[in-house]
Structure 1
Amino acid sequence: MNDEQKSPDASKQQWQQDVINRLAFAALNEQKKSRRWKIFFVFLFISYLFLVYFTAFVKPDSAGAALTGKNHTALVEVNGVIADDQSASADNIVTGLRKAFKNEKVQGVILRINSPGGSPVQAGYVNDEIVRLREQYPNTKVYAVITDIGASGGYYIAAAADEIYADKASLVGSIGVIMNSFGFTEAIDKLGVDRRLYTAGENKGFLDPFSPEKQEDVQHVKNMLTNIHQQFIDTVKKGRGDRLADDPKLFSGLIWTGEESLELGLIDGLGSSSYVAREVIQAENIVDYTPRPDFFERFTRQFGAAMGQAISKTMGLEGGSIR
């Protein structure tokens, strides 16, 4: 009888204990969430103060700015694919070059190139501007320094410099023009796909990869590429003159090491940017004139990424994705 009376009491006590435990855990969870939000807002406030301080008191490239009042070597980077929407766009490169040439304390300009090429139009803009600036400022020489690679459009730009330097293992050349595509006509036939192409103008759809190739279209493209290639050849010959070796392979699209390029007359010497600044220009201090995002822009990008991560952690969203 006593055991039967204790059983309901024990169940009641267990139920009460469960409720208390759940309430305690709920309170702890709320405290944890509250603590996370407090940490988040403290982080946000500190980041804001950090941003205000650096925007107001810290100037980007302060070391370089201090040197611009003294004799120095100017550096402009050509890094990556040469294209309108890339850091190695004609606008960026030309902006840096103009700023460097205008400074009377610049003893020489180094165009440091690490590019496989890109747009012939963008490369042509830069080449033309270097030629113009050299005429406007005849006492300021331009030295192209190729690091890993200076090929195709990268070499197109380098050809405008007074002298070109590279490392013995650098890749130099690729004086040629390329255009590639694919043909899917047989695949369409096998899949039973009906290709429907509507144009106004008899040649508007030429080189369509889903239509049979026409010989007249191919010849038109070859003529166009030959024309651009000849422009490239003329530009290199104009820039390098009689320094070029009499070798028909020079303009075949082949690429050479820096050591081989020196023998072929594609470059003038072996050396790095530091070497050229110190030994050739004789102004060892180098100031980077390459236009870059200012501190505020760089910080806001990084800050935005950090904010996203913080919010994800606070909301418990890390470790998953929505597809």
Structure 2
Amino acid sequence: MAKCKSVEFTIPSADGGRDGKLNWMMLSPCLYVGYVDIWSRYLPQCVFESPSLKSFDGTPIKINYCFRGRCEIMLNAGATTFVVGDELAVDYGTSCEGRQAFFYPTAEYEGIELVIFPSDTAEGEVYPYLGKELVKGLLDKFEGRNIPYINVPDARIRRCMEDFRDDILSRADERLIATDVYRLLLLLKELTFEVDKRRTFCTPSQVEIAKKTVEIITRDLSKRHSAGDLAAAFGVSESSLKNYCRAVFGKGYHDMIAEIRMRKAAELIIKGDESLCEIAEHVGYQSQSRFSKAFLKYHKVLPMEYKRRNFSAMI
């Protein structure tokens, strides 16, 4: 049975936990599909420098499905939006390219990406897998559009994405992967690509304020920063700052900070260089009892039990 070319990257975790990975399968230089499972906010430079993923000339069709997490999409029109769990995004020339266009606000993301480079010179490689009319039909849907299509798909598309995940991870025969691609495009043919009026769009400055807020908070977690103080530093209202953070990170200001603190606490517990009292102070709790209560609320287990479980797992 034939096997298509595959490449895998290990992506270090943002909080010292388990590493993530990217698994790509290339059916041709202008048609490939990838499985993404990462615990990081950014992709490392090595992914973009890999000769295995050098792009075919032309504008790609990018089809993404998010199983879990949150991914930023920077639009050529100047705004930013986000794909979250159980959403499908289809794009043709409306979003930015390059490393700066890949940001995962919550430092976790699992999804599928299908990349197709439609081109007259590529017909011999692409269309035997897809059918020329399906590719053209998808391109026609972007006539006059300046934003990607993003919406919650139906159960059939969801099952198709699950098949992609299973087949990529098992390094299935290329004909099976091609069948998955063909099936997906047939399902996309039925979509009208109507605009999701509930979608949130942010300006670059709003996104930048939200990101800088997190940078300030994470720089020294032992310090407490009120939303009012940070908002004043950025010259915006407190409600605006909170709205920007919710739009970018998908959580309220206080929930976002609590998650950052608890993820760091878990990293430090696993690392084992500090006592629980020191870790509590490190992440901004003067009282160990309050720290334990917050840790239990987020991780569903007390710090000592979390430490014991991870120690046992390493033996």
TM bin, normalised by shorter chain, reads under 0.3
- Say which one has the larger Rg: 1
Higher relative contact order (CA 8 A, sep 6+): 1
Question: How high is the TM-score relative to the length of structure 2?
Answer: 0.23
Question: How high is the TM-score relative to the length of structure 1?
Answer: 0.22
- Greater helix share, 1 or 2? 1
